[in-house]
Amino acid sequence: MIANCIIYYNTAILSNLLSYKEKIGNTQDAEMIKQISPIAWQHINLHGRYEFSKQTEGININEIVEQLAQIQVPAANIII
């Protein structure tokens, strides 16, 4: 179940980032994004302390995509 959630989360971010890059005409980055696997989870903390409250604040995927779009990553650093 957790693995499916992580893969869905990563897929949603990558899909939105791909759409953004294609919309602005950045085909080089778009092609690079197509090679990234949504299965990676090095950026997810599975060993932390988690607190859940009744008041939830949703995740803003568009805000995450905007922040990621500003990062310049050389193609050699992409792990497939």
- Tokens 């897929």 identify what position? 11
Residue-range domain boundaries for the chain? 2-77
| Lowest-confidence segment of 17-21, 49-53, 76-80 by average pLDDT | 76-80
| Mean local confidence (pLDDT), 40-60 | 75
Q: What is the pLDDT of residue 76?
A: 56
pTM for the full model? 0.69
Would you place residue 77 in the very low, low, confident or very high pLDDT band (cuts 50, 70, 90)?
Answer: low
Average pLDDT, the chain: 83
Q: Is it the case that residue 8 has pLDDT exceeding 80?
A: yes
